[in-house]
Amino acid sequence: MQLRLPDEDRERFGCDEWLDYDPTTVTVEDAEAVEEAGGEWTSRRAQFWLALRRAGHEVAWGDLANVNLVKVRSREGKAVEDSASDESPTSPTSA
């Protein structure tokens, strides 16, 4: 799946328009890092945090606390959902 931050947040983090995120590649180490930061690895916030880190951006967990509307699409470019919620879980089977 691909994740998109709003323009304002994308400019702040200096990332591409779309970030790749594959929930099936989340490792135990990734999940532990998210939990140590105070989150749940299935949350939308964790998905963006991991996608940004994998794209080479050092982003603190707290930097994503006020991220606005997020967009998600499949790798084929089809819209999956728009969500303002930080805690929108996506299971590995829905990718």
Mean pLDDT score across all residues of the chain: 81
Residue carrying the six token digits 């790749």: 20
Residue-wise pLDDT for 13-38, tens only, equals 999 999 999 999 999 999 999 999 99
d(CA 89, CA 26): 14
pLDDT the model gives residue 74? 80
Higher-scoring residue by pLDDT: 6, 87: 6
pLDDT the model gives residue 15? 93
d(CA 44, CA 5): 11
Task: Name the pLDDT band for 90 (thresholds 50, 70, 90).
Answer: very low
DSSP H/E element including 50: helix 44-54
